[in-house]
Structure 1
Amino acid sequence: MALIKSSFSLARLAFLNFLRHPKNPQSLAKGVTAPLRVRGVAYNQFSTSAALLAKSKAAQDDATELKYEGMSTTVCQGANYYTHGSDPELKDDSEYPDWLWTLLDPPAEDSKTYHRQQKKAKARLRNKLMKHKE
């Protein structure tokens, strides 16, 4: 019975993956379903050569160089969402309030925000583990 159940669950999983990714060229051309996901790992039916990886790495390096080429250090581009006016100019760091530089720091361990984040992280992990439980 366990063998039938496992093969049924793999077939059902393959069918659900196909429904989720109907434009997958492998599933349409070869009649093979989308890559199977077994416990969070995708098994693809193709291999990637080193030449393709090298080309993609070079393309990523070029993209990062172009990304910072047109950025301004004096104007905050895109901050003005009104139809009139111009983008605000950037000030010296000392002209901004001190609390602004602490916004990206993690919250203190005795705060309500910290415990709320921990509770959400535990719930996400529990849901992820239950999703892959058989």
Structure 2
Amino acid sequence: MSKERLEEFKDYIDYLDDSLDMQDNGRFVDALHSLYEDGWLDWVYKYAKKQAKRVQELENTIKAHDHSKNLNAMVAGENVNLKIENQRYKQALEFYADKQNYREMVDQSGVETLIEEDNGRIARRALKGESE
């Protein structure tokens, strides 16, 4: 369906319009008959049908794009949550990995390491989603 073909059809329509303006019903009917005989009306019908299908495809593409944007936003939000969670776990692991926390210290209750004193509190808080 070329642009030239559409321009040619527009010329036919202009001719029909001119016929009506001149109130030349015979010329108008002859032009319509010519359009029908030459297959123009069938061509316009097929062209309109093809364009309607194309519009539907584009609308579906837009819907898919919007759905994809929504999914991306959800994933981005989840990604932020996972980063925060990973930071909590990292802090807890750093505490338990620090050799200084295994050195003995003396308090009123006796000799304990920071790890013994903590008794897993940092790990439990990290797993619950709480920060220090």
Q: TM-score range by the shorter chain?
A: under 0.3
Larger radius of gyration: 2
Calculate the TM-score normalised by the size of structure 2.
0.21
Greater helix share, structure number: 2
Q: Which structure exhibits the higher relative contact order, with contacts defined as CA atoms closer than 8 Å and separated by 6 or more residues?
A: 2
